[in-house]
Amino acid sequence: MRSRKFIFGLPLWRVALSCLLLCSSLVACKQKPAPPPPPVPEVSVMTVTARKITLTTELPGRIAVFRIAEIRPQANGLILKRLFVEGGDVKAGQVLYEIDPAPFQAALENAKAAFGRAEANVPAIRLRAQRFNDLLADNAVSQQDYDDASAALKQVEADVAYWKATVRSAEINLGYTTVKAPISGRIGKTNVTEGAIVTAYQPVQLASIQQLDPIYVDASQATAELLRLKRRLADGRLNQNGSDQGKVQLMLEDNTVYPFQGVFQFRDVSVDPTTGSVMVRIAFPNPEMALLPGMFVRVVVKEGIKDAAILIPQQTVVRDPKGNPMVLTVSAEGKVEQIKVILDRCIEDQWLIASGLEPGDKIIVEGIQKARPGTVVRIAQAGNTSKTAEPAPNTANTGKSN
């Protein structure tokens, strides 16, 4: 009987067959082709350009009257008539109230009578003084007599001047019995009625008149913004040579644009310690009386013109772990570069760049997630996925600086 050989309890031929199959598998694994390299990321870019824009600042404001006159009596007496309609328009010089003129008329007539009596004494005393002067040369009268006549003349002339001034004062007081409007405007409610007793220059006003056309808007500007604007002008980053630089736009409470532009009047010289801001006053025409005192509004003040402004879409700005803003650009060799930028303000859906970018730089607009600094990317062909920035409006509102 022929003997068989075993290894690990298995026939030798079976062990040899298993080793042959294992070697074949190892050779096949070594000959498997390597996977292809990953595709080059495709991105869309926009070319940075500089343009001329007008920068503006939006400030909160409140409507204030252009002029206001508080009507008070200048004479004591009884109110006989009220000669205006409450809430109506009045003209300068229009009679508003009539105070009982009887006592003032009597005082005037009394003063006129005394004035006439004083004037009647003047001719006789003047002639007497002249005769004494002629006789004094011939020593026909004494020096004392002449001095007495001369003094009497001066006294009656002083009496005439006194009663003349009294007549004028009585005429003025009589004129005060008709209370007139000092300015043109809209008058409010009256605080007295017919039959009321009033006193001269009393603390309680009879009524008030407000001139509403034109009208003022008082806005508050933070001192930090004011200092920033002055630095920009001093550095030449802004200029204020525009023909409409002094024009101001107004936004009403319902976000509608007021149809008339205002004119910058002045900036206050003192800072409010509670808010850290200064008051800016602008005058607006108000022919339709749409603006009323006390209304809250927003004014858009033109800061100046930036001749070479760079605007980029907001989605192109990324942040590093520290929160610093930066953009990804594509160099001439097609490599991604990371550039730090300084943001000036937000203008609608774009950022105004203060520094970091130059005209001609290509920044990545789409595909930022696939781009890594130092890697090579492929720029999408026009008409596929390339994007360009939307044009910004000519006027740019101030946003929060970063």
- Say how many domains are in the chain: 3
Confidence of residue 22 (pLDDT cuts 50, 70, 90): low
Same domain, 171 and 226: no
What's the average model confidence in pLDDT over 244-271? 83
User: How high is the pLDDT of residue 7?
Assistant: 56
User: How high is the pLDDT of residue 244?
Assistant: 58
Same domain, 330 and 282: no
Same domain, 100 and 224: no
Same domain, 185 and 223: no
Each residue's pLDDT tens digit, 233-254: 666 655 566 555 567 889 998 8
Distance CA 232, CA 221 (A): 16
Same domain, 178 and 86: yes
Distance CA 264, CA 301 (A): 9
Same domain, 149 and 195: yes
Residue 27 inside a domain? The answer is no
pLDDT at 141 over 90: no
Confidence of residue 103 (pLDDT cuts 50, 70, 90): very high
- What's the CATH code of the domain at 246? 2.40.30.170
Same domain, 205 and 242: no
Same domain, 163 and 261: no
Which amino acid is present at 61? G
Distance CA 159, CA 214 (A): 51
Range of the domain at 347: 42-52+307-396
What's the average model confidence in pLDDT over 132-150? 78
Q: pTM value?
A: 0.63
**Gyration radius from the chain CA atoms:** 47
Which of 34, 18, 35 lies closest to 26, judged by CA?
Answer: 18
Residue 120 inside a domain? The answer is yes
Most confident by average pLDDT, 31-45, 239-253, 340-354: 340-354
Residue ending a domain, among 209, 224, 252, is: 209
Each residue's pLDDT tens digit, 377-396: 888 753 333 344 333 344 44
Same domain, 328 and 288: no
Residue 1 inside a domain? The answer is no
Same domain, 301 and 315: no
Confidence of residue 14 (pLDDT cuts 50, 70, 90): low
pLDDT at 37 over 80: no
Same domain, 173 and 89: yes
What's the average model confidence in pLDDT over 361-387? 73
Residue 32 inside a domain? The answer is no
Which of 289, 375, 389, 374 lies closest to 63, judged by CA?
Answer: 289
Close Cβ partners of 158 (under 8 Å, ≥ 6 residues apart): none
Each residue's pLDDT tens digit, 92-102: 999 999 999 99
Same domain, 311 and 269: no
Structure tokens at 301: 């003040």
